[in-house]
Amino acid sequence: MKPSVIATALLGATLVLAGCGKPPAGDAAQDATAGATPAAASTAPAPADWSSLETLVGRYPADVDLYGRGPLVAPLQRLLGERFARFKANMQVSGPLSRAGDLLYVTGNKPHEGGEEAGYLLVDPAARQIEVGLWEGGKLGVYRSGADLADPPDVQAMIRNATP
């Protein structure tokens, strides 16, 4: 092939890829001891109407497809990036969506792997903030879309009882 043909093909491929690819997701992970909030979360588009979450209190996430559709899916995907699939796997066995004051929350674990592969979700519907605690291989990582949310007693107990 002639060098000019190769250069033209490379330029065309570069333009096509630049136009159709989505930007890479940043790693918004925070260690459980880190206090910084990911900058990407503060520039996220406005979330869907979160008032519908109130009607789901007392219902199980799997029964209402909480992580497959609804107002929390896009914020969770933005916050967790590639870890969203792990979060869903770690929440397969869970309690219902519960309330503690102004917060909604769910705790769960991967079947037969509680303590090693588990998670929790805290939601402040008024502030439209979420916090996810995700145990991966027994190590807790905390991901926040804003300020630190107060852990409900059930979440405090989960953290306290987790495998070190």
DSSP 8-state symbol, 117: S
pLDDT for position 162? 86
Residue ranges in the chain modelled with pLDDT below 70: 1-48, 163-164
How many other β-carbons are positioned within 10 Å of the β-carbon of residue 18?
A: 8
Q: Which of 146, 132, 159, 149 is nearest to 77 (CA)?
A: 132
pLDDT for position 113? 84
pLDDT for position 114? 74
pLDDT for position 38? 43
pLDDT for position 164? 64
Q: Which of 125, 133, 145, 126 is nearest to 109 (CA)?
A: 133
